[in-house]
């Protein structure tokens, strides 16, 4: 289903192989993993159709690429990748249902929306996440991606409880105007304007690991937030230019190639 290149078929590390899905069966396995994590573990509310199939599947899945982490052939981690071509086939990017992403669409070259990222609890460690990011970096290099973006989620839908984290993100990681997507007016959460950010170090440590990883890589956050009642989360829009990621990947790749020579 997807075209494989040499850098997308990474060598297994710590028992895990990272590559793009090769067939429909692997995509179904990734959707089953997503169901277990999002609906059974994190408390998302499934439709009857999703619950009956026990698969997290939507209209974007057939058009996009699926980055997988596999342990002995079992899908234990996944990312969903949607570029401009895939978005055109399904009428737009997923995040456009929550945010006005016009500033991101105006960026030159290829852009890539990340979504549905999850890892099986048995493999939920820094190493697996790093391997997924290495696979993502390889895909970025191979496809000349200039910008990553997507919805990042804070657990729960209690805006008052999450207000300090949202205030911290606004005060410390707000995207420049050229990359500042904003919550759609009819979806925007009513965030208390007087919310104090609190101790920045403590709040940073309390953020979800994936969101912290994005911030440490240089990501910035759009304006506003959206409550996603289906997935039991509050979403913010993350934008991340790829220069730093690709530079780190290229240094690591060159080092590996140098040792192999």
Domain containing 239 — which CATH number?
Answer: 3.40.630.30
| pLDDT surpasses 60 at 250 | no
Does residue 14 fall inside a structural domain?
A: yes
pTM confidence score:
0.87
Cβ–Cβ under 8 Å, residues 166 and 47: no
User: Is the per-residue pLDDT at 260 higher than 50?
Assistant: no
The answer to the question of residue 213 being in a domain is yes
pLDDT of residue 261 exceeding 90, the answer is no
Whats the size of the chain, residue-wise?
261
Q: Classify residue 164: in a domain, yes or no.
A: yes
181-210, pLDDT tens digit by residue? 999 999 999 887 766 667 888 888 889 988
Number of compact structural domains in the chain? 1
Q: How far is residue 130's CA from residue 56's CA, in Å, rounded to a whole number? A: 24
Give 15's pLDDT tier (boundaries 50, 70, 90).
confident
User: Which pLDDT does position 129 carry in this prediction?
Assistant: 87
The mean pLDDT value of the chain amounts to 88
Range of the domain at 227: 6-260
Examine the pLDDT at 9 and tell me if it is beyond 90.
no
**What are 87-143's pLDDT values in tens digits?**
999 999 999 999 999 999 999 999 999 999 999 999 988 889 889 998 999 999 999
- For residue 35, tell me if it sits in a domain: yes
Residue 1 within any structural domain of the chain: no
């Amino acid at each position: 289903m997807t075209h494989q290149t040499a850098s997308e078929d990474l060598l297994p590390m710590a028992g895990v192989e990272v590559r793009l899905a090769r067939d429909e069966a692997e995509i179904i396995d990734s959707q089953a993993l997503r169901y277990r994590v999002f609906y059974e573990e994190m408390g998302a509310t499934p439709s009857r159709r999703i619950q009956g199939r026990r698969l997290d599947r939507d209209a974007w899945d057939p058009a996009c690429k699926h980055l997988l982490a596999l342990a002995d052939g079992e899908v234990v981690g996944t990312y969903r990748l949607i570029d401009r071509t895939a978005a055109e086939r399904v009428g737009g990017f997923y995040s456009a249902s929550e945010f006005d992403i016009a500033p991101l669409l105006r960026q030159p070259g290829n852009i890539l929306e990340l979504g549905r990222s999850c890892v099986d609890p048995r493999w939920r460690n820094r190493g697996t996440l790093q391997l997924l990011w290495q696979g993502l970096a390889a895909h970025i290099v191979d496809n000349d991606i200039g910008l990553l973006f997507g919805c990042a989620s804070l657990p729960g839908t209690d805006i008052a409880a999450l207000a300090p984290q949202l205030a911290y993100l606004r005060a410390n990681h707000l995207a420049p105007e050229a990359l500042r997507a904003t919550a759609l007016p009819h979806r925007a959460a009513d965030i208390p304007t007087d919310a104090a950010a609190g101790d920045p170090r403590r709040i940073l440590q309390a953020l979800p690991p994936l969101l912290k990883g994005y911030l440490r890589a240089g990501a910035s956050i759009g304006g506003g937030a959206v409550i996603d009642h289906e997935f039991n989360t509050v979403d913010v829009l993350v934008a991340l230019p790829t220069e730093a990621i690709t530079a780190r990947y290229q240094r690591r790749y060159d080092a590996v190639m140098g040792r192999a020579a």
